[in-house]
Structure 1
Amino acid sequence: MFGFMLWLVLLFLCWPLALLALVLYPLFWLITLPFRLIGIGVEGLFEVLRAIVMLPARILGGSPGR
């Protein structure tokens, strides 16, 4: 909601820039989508590695939060 209100202020102050932002936002979103997907995959890989490293401690009775 705050982003929309910011866009409305921009539309009031400088409507060509607001329309340009409205057109370029989906393009920017599409360009950054592969990087987000790679980030999700890398985060998942690190979680698997963390689980593998912490497995002996969990088997021996350590708490997962400490």
Structure 2
Amino acid sequence: MFTFLLWLILLVLCWPLALLALVLYPLLWLLLLPFRLVGFAVGGVLALVAALFMLPARVLRGPALR
């Protein structure tokens, strides 16, 4: 909502720039999409490595008492 309000202010102040931003935003989103996917993949791999690294400590700790 805040981004939309900023865009409306830009539309009032400089409408050609606001229209250019409206056209370029989806293109920029598509350009950055592969980097976001790589970020998810790297985060998953790091979580897997952390889980494997912590596995011996979790096994030696024993079952949780409830």
Look up the match of 1:15.
15
TM-score (norm 1): 0.91
- Runs (4 or more) in structure 1 with deviation over 2 Å come to none
* Percent of aligned pairs sharing the same letter: 66
What code does the residue aligned with 1:11 have? L
Deviations 1:35-62 (A, max 9, x none): 0000100000000000000000111118
Structure 1 gap ranges (5+): none
Aligned to 2:50: 50
**Structure with larger Rg:** 2
Question: What's the Cα RMSD here?
Answer: 1.0
TM-score (norm 2): 0.91
